[in-house]
Structure formats: structure tokens, C-alpha cells
A and B are shown apart, each in its own frame.
Chain A
Amino acid sequence: MVIGFSWLASCNMTSKDLKVLPKEWFEFNAYLKIGDNGMITIQSPNPEIGQNVKTSMPMIVAEELDADWNHVIVEQAPLNTSFYKWQVAGGSRSISSGWEPLRMAGATARKMLITAAASQWNVLPEEIQTNAGIVSHKASGNSAHYGEMAAVAAKLEVPEEVTLKNAADYKIIGHSKKNVDAKDIVTGKPLFGLDVYKEGMLTAMIVHPPAFGKKLKSFNPDSVKNMPGIKDVFEISVYSGDKQQSAFDITAFNELVVIVGNSTWQVMKAKKAIQVEWELAPSKELAMEMFGNVSNKHFPAGLENTSEHKALMKDIDFGDKRLKLVRKDGDPEKAFKNAAKIIERTYTAPFRAHNTMEPMNFFADVTAEKVFVLGPVQTPEWTESSLSRRLGIPKEKIDVHLTRMGGGFGRRLYGHFVTEAALISQKMKAPVKLVYTREDDMTFGTYRPSYVVKYKAALDKNNNLVAVHVIGGGIPERALYANRFPAGAVDNFIAEEWEEDSNITTGAYRAPRSNFAASAEQSFLDEVAELAGKDPIDFRLDLFKKAIDNPVGERNDYDAKRYAGVLELVKEKSNWGKANTSNLKRGVAAYFCHNSYVANVIDLVMDGNVPKVQNVYCAVDCGIVINPDAATNLAEGGAVDAIGTALFGEMTFEDGVPQQSNFDKYRLIKHHEAPKNIQVDFVKNEIAPTGMGEPPFPPVMGALSNAIYSATGKRVYHQPFINELNA
């Protein structure tokens, strides 16, 4: 049995009369069912990684249903591609892609309840009102709770057209609701993948090469087979020899040694004791498919070093033949030639591990008839496809169920561990939980790429910004969004990119590419503003004005008005430009990604070489805010994460060996290093909601570096900044 995955546990009922389960449930659609006593169950379709969709998505259904939130129970939906679209925790798209179907699910059910009541009371449906789970008809004095109408209503035809509410009438959306899992979290209930324990379940661990560029040569199962509790030791090939695989199947280590045993500690001990030999791996070519596009990926042979990566990035310069042109506006060459002032800067960042607090893991029970997998993965749909391909079992026979996840940050988009767990279960003919140790998790790859961004800008004699040249480079993937600001705001603009292959695997990391593009761009613009003798906010606002009044180029991926809006808001909230009597020094930044706009002001003071952040002001435009307190929490966490990332985090390599394998060497931000205050303000509008998981993360790093400059007079260019500050 799965212990405690009780759906009642997620219940946030407070009403006394609803503490018992209904005798019967009536299903209205894939999202919701109503019990005969008025209790409502709402399925939350998307994976929950801490972005709080398990609360905010059902809130949207409940709003249009006109439900009493206190009578709502939330369940995590399993993968069901025939019901739900975009069951992915990625791209900060859960809310935006769910906005339409979630509202429709609630609104159609509401209309069905009204129709049922109208027919029962013999009155016109237009005269019926709903409120907090009650249907009523004023003139006749009739009134009933939803449960009383549910049996009849659920049998009605689903209406094709419904009227959705006006934002001004929202009673649940925009009104903070507590995390539906909060009680279970604070009482230690089994919620996460690692908490899955089933009858007869075995524990499995993997042993993978100690270095990128190496592979399994041989292993000696006898070295551990007789250790207490060990059931089996064998090798698996995670993906078959096919040349093409999903981009979400990426793994640096396809051949793994597997140890299976009765308990975690016994397997951990065997893992330490096992004798394995490794050898150099050849280069590898893979055709990797993502959203229907196939791109060829080359993973070179060899043992890579951080020092070589740094040298490669240092070598990239303007005019380099390896650069690929992505965008060009005006005549940048001429503008730079005629410039009064030119400024040129280089920014770099290291590889980074996601380091979710819950290491990778998954439960699998594979039999001849059925594949059942349960655990934390951000991409259940693509995982199912991968399992089907690898196991040769049709998707109909594969059930993918989700647990709550101890963090995602992009790492769990790449579900190789699900396939691993399934292969192990298939071999063992038993239910198995695969568990990565922290060391496995940190040294397995799928890192944030290492980036280099170079900027060059030209000012005319009146200190107007007349040209920008940007190079976005990276190993193995660039950090560049060529159609984002300042493109569109500068007459002469050129963007080029550069990528260098690596056998160190990488993947999306909270706001991929944006997370460094923002830091580089916003640090550079700060320096350009200074060179132009302008206030950094006014300087940016002038550029946005140009992008609004007279945009340059055909395609600019941002709304300059909303961009300026968050800057104006953060300016007001932080009292920017007012006399500063404290010892705090400040920096500003703004960025747009995942269709949301965020601006930050950071106040800090230096404690020796270490910046102590006092205040973070955060202005956000993500359209309609579903759950304000939870969105605030995300922005707070994004700020803390960004400060820790920019100051401390890095993965380095010597001869392919990761030099950080646990939190003793990989420095994550701690309580005493976090900002003292974070103030989050939202732009109020009625635009359809956009991303909140990722957008609050990138600009903070730019604001931090700019504040460090204000405090020290020294610009920092290379993350993690703590190394540069200590140098």
C-alpha cells in the first residue's frame, strides 16, 4: 500500500457540516466532481514542484464554479493526455495554459447546476443566482446547495457556450488562499517521491561514472552480492541504441551499475564497497527531438576542465568567425565608428547544479501487463512516451502518477530516472524505488550551462545610446534572447551567438538562459547609464519610451509599456532617488521572461567582502494574480535563490570530475545570508495571467551586481561573485 496518500488530507474544509464524506460523487468533467453533501473535489492537473499550482489551479476552477473554497478538496491528477493539456511544470506555463480550460471547467459545471435548479423549481435559469456553493432563486425563495442539484446537473449535456466572470467579480482569484498541502507538510505526511513505500518494495541505487567523458568498463558483482540485504547487482542501458531520443531523455551516463536491496542503508553501503572500472567514452552523436524539432547534438570525447572552459570563453571576441548572426538593425559598424564613447564588457557564469532538496528518485512497478510509475517528474507526458519507447509497451498500459516534488527548478524535466526505475523493476520483477544519493544527484549532469555574454555599446556626443553589440555564448548552450530589450530600443543593434560542444550534459534551469542574460544585460546597462551620466532608472525609461514611440526592427518580444510599468512601480516603492541617509547602497534591474515583467531594487551593505542584502524591492506584472500571497512567496524565494546563485553557486570540473558533490562544497544560500526584507508589489491589471515561477529570478542578479558596485566602487563580472569579491 502507499502510505497516507489520502485525498482527504488535502482537504481545507472548515465547515462543521462537511466533515463527512459524501455518499455519492457526481462527475462534471475531468477537473471536478461534486458530492451529494456539497463537497467539491477539484483535480489539479499539473505537477507541483513548489510553485503552488496545486492551490492556484483549483482556485481558478472554484472561482468560475462559484464554489465555497472551504468545501473544496484538491487532488493531484495523474497523467491523462486525453483530458488535460500541458501537464508540465515548465516554462512557467501552468497557469497561463490552464487559464482557459480551468475557467471553462468551473463555468460549465455552474451552468449545469443552474439549469438543473431551473427545471426543478420551474423558473427561468437567468433568474437563478449562485454564490459560495449555493444556487438560489430570489422570487420563489428557493435555495439549495450544489450537492442537492449535482445528481441531476451532472447528467445534463455540457454547454458549449458559457459566460465567464468579469475580473471585478472575482471572489477567490486574487484573494490569498493557503497552500492546500500545508497541514500535511508541517506534520510530515508522506507527500514526496522518496516517501513512497509499498508492500514488497525493494530499494535500488545506481553507480555512475565518476567523470564526464567516462563510461562503464566492468564491475565485480561478487564484491557486494553477499553483503547484508543485497538482492542483486547488474547493469542497465538506460536508453537503447537508437540514434534519436527526446531532448528530455538527456543523460551523460547511459550504462549504469545497479544495486538492489532491502533497505536504503544496506544499498548505500554496498554502493560504497562495489568494485567498478571505468574507461574513456567515445564521442557520441544524438538526434534529439523537442516539440517536434530534431536537432543533432554532439557530445565530444575527452575529460574536460573548468580552466579550459574559461579559456574558451575568454577567447571569444567581437569579429570572431565562429559567431552566428541572429539579429541586426541599422548600421552598427558605422555607429561604432562614429561613436563618441565606446564601452565593452564581458560577463561569465559557471555550470550549476539544480540541487533540489529532494534528490532524484522514482517508484516503478513493471509487470507483463502493466507499467505503474509514481514519483516526482515535471514532464509526465514525455516520460510516458520515453517509457513506451524503451520498454516496448504501449502507452495505454503505462500509468504515470505524480507525487509532490521536493523542488524542480528544471531538473525534473529530464526523466531518465523514471526509465531507470522501470528497467530495474522489470529486471527484478518487483516493485522498486530508485533513490539517488545527494552525491549522485549533484554529479550526474543536466546542469545549467556555463555562459559568456559580451556587450559593446556606443554613445554619441550627447550621451545617447546609439549602438549595442551583444554576443551570447555558452558551453554547450548560449545565453541570448536576441529579440528582447534592448533590441527595439536602439537604432543600431547586432546580436550574435556562439556555442561550444561539451560532454557535460545540461538542461533548463529556472528561467533558462534568461537567468544569466538578465544579469549580464542589466549589469551592462547600469554601466552604460553611468557612462552617459544618467540615472539608471531614467536611462532605461528613456529607452522604453523609444521602444514605445518608435520601435526599431520587426520583431520585439516584449511590451515596452509593461516593462516601463514595473520600473516605475519599483522606483516609487523603493523611494528611488530620494535622499539616502542610511549606509545602504542600491542597485536596480528589470527583466522580461515567461511573459511577465519584473523590476528589482536591492539595498545592501558590505560586511568585509560579503554583501549583506538588507532590502529587495520587487515589482511584478504577471497579469491577473491568482493567489497573491503565494505569488509573493515565489517572488521572495526567487530573490533569495538569485542572490545565492549569483554569489555562491558553481560546479567546476577537473579531468571531467565534478569538484562539488554535496553541500559541504556546493554553497547554497543560508538563513543568515538571505535578505532581511523583501517587498513584493504587483501591477494591477486584468491581463490574462502569465508566469510566476521563473520571472522573479533573473533580474535580481543584475540588481545585486549593480548594488555591489554602488557599495564597493567595483564592478563584478564573473559569477559566482564571491570569488571575484575575495580575489
Chain B
Amino acid sequence: MAKFNLQINGSTHIVDVDPDTPILWVLRDHLQLVGTKYGCGIAQCGSCTILLNGIATRACQLQVSMVGNNEIVTIEGLSKNGDHPVQKAWEEEDVPQCGYCQAGQIMSAVSLLKSNPNPSDEEIEMGMSGNICRCGTYIRIKKAIKRVSNS
């Protein structure tokens, strides 16, 4: 076990965990930030996507000891009142079915839109291809992203 100071959602959190613990489980088990989901544990599904210095990152592959002072933003920290434009667009398009993958989808979409505010359909598809939705809400996810980029 070792102590780590983590910058998460704009505040500092101190955790005492095994250094090889993926940040996914630090968030979920130790900080009760459970919006970041476990889906596969091998960076194949995108359910655990967080922002690391603004860039979409798979939390299941990021060991806590590697985080340092880098800024982490989770779905809980995306906005205070759940009114980030991407969150709002998700509600407007009524995207979710089961909803389990959607936090990861939203974090990937935020990252995509930050680097490319007006993505083409193809750029959306490729930018989001690391996030699996088992319910098949891809069309609505695309619509929601376009709703943000058009506004």
C-alpha cells in the first residue's frame, strides 16, 4: 500500500492503495465515484473512459502510481449540474437504453469534440469506435454529438 495525492474533478484526493491498482478501481472502490464503469478490464470496451488532462483515457489500464499530478475528470466532474452540452445532448436525443456504457461514451465524445469541434460522420464513427454499446445506441450517440457540434 502507498499514499497517492490525486487531482480528480478539481480537488485533491488522498488514497492509500496498492500502487498497481488501476485508477478505475481507485475511483470506484475507494472514492465511490462509480460513474466510471468496469466493462472488460483490457481497454476493449471504453466503459471506463475518463479524461486525463482532457484526453480520453481508459481508466482500467492506468495504474494509480502513473497518474502523478495529471488532472483527472470523471463523468461526475464533467459539470456541476449535469448540464455539460454533451450531457444535455444525450438527454435531448434520449440516447440510453440500459445506460451502462453511456458515461464512457460521453467522456469519449467530450474528448473528441475538444480536439475536433465539428467532426464529420466518419470522424465520429472512428473517434468513438473504442466505445462499445451492447444495446446498439450508436445512431443516437452520433446524433447527440452532431447536436453539440452544430450548436
A residues in contact (CB < 8 Å) with B: 3, 49-52, 176, 178-179, 181-183, 185-192, 194-195, 197, 203, 228-229, 263-266, 268-269, 355-359, 404-409, 437-438, 629-630, 633-634, 636-641, 644, 662-664, 668-672, 674-678
Contacts and interface: CB of A to CB of B under 8 A. Distances in A.
B136 A636 contact: yes
Given A188-B103, A190-B34, 12 more contacts: A186-B90, A188-B35, A194-B34, A357-B98, A359-B38, A406-B98, A408-B98, A641-B136, A663-B132, A671-B124, A671-B131, A672-B129
Nearest to A49: B98
Interface string B3-24: 0000000000000011011100
Contacts of A634: 97
B41 interface: yes
Q: Dominant SS at the B interface?
A: loop
A412 to B, nearest CB: 11
Given A52-B97, A265-B21, A186 B76 contact: no
A629 B87 contact: no
15 contacts: A52-B97, A185-B96, A195-B34, A263-B25, A356-B98, A357-B132, A358-B39, A359-B39, A409-B134, A634-B97, A640-B136, A640-B138, A669-B136, A670-B132, A671-B141
A3 B41 CA distance: 24
A186 B102 contact: yes
A1 B142 CA distance: 37
A438 B39 contact: yes
Question: Which of A192, A671, A675: most chain B Cβ within 10 A?
Answer: A671
B44 A194 contact: no
A178 B99 contact: no
B33 interface: yes
B118 to A, nearest CB: 18
B40 interface: yes
Contacts of A183: 82, 91
B121 A639 contact: no
B25 A264 contact: yes
B135 A407 contact: yes
B67 to A, nearest CB: 15
B65 to A, nearest CB: 13
B150 interface: no
Nearest to B100: A406
Contact of A197 (B21, B34, B99): B34
B37 A437 contact: no
Interface of B: 1, 17-18, 20-22, 25, 28-30, 32-42, 44-45, 47, 74-76, 78-79, 82, 87, 90-91, 94, 96-103, 106, 121-122, 124-126, 128-129, 131-142
A501 B14 CA distance: 55
A77 B20 CA distance: 40
B142 A671 contact: yes
Give me the 5 closest cross-chain CB pairs, A-B, nearest first: A188-B35, A640-B136, A406-B100, A50-B98, A188-B75
B99 A663 contact: no
A633 B137 contact: yes
Contacts of A197: 29, 32, 34
Contacts of A637: 97, 135-137
B76 A407 contact: no
A357 B34 contact: no
Question: Which of A50, A195, A269, A357: most chain B Cβ within 10 A?
Answer: A357
B44 A407 contact: no
Nearest to B75: A188
Given A407-B134, A674-B136, A186 B141 contact: no
A664 B44 contact: yes
B130 to A, nearest CB: 8
Contacts of B47: 357
A644 to B, nearest CB: 7
Contact of B139 (A192, A228, A630, A674): A674
A50 B140 CA distance: 15
Contacts of A176: 94
Contacts of B122: 672
B99 A265 contact: no
Nearest to A629: B94
B28 to A, nearest CB: 7
A663 B45 contact: yes
A50 B94 contact: no
B74 to A, nearest CB: 7
Contacts of B132: 357, 663, 668, 670
Contacts of A3: 32, 34
A645 to B, nearest CB: 10
Given A182-B91, A194-B34, A407 B128 contact: no
B96 A358 contact: no
A647 to B, nearest CB: 13
A194 B98 CA distance: 14
Nearest to A666: B44
Given A357-B134, A644-B136, A178 B94 contact: yes
Given A179-B96, A357-B100, A639 B136 contact: yes
Nearest to B108: A671
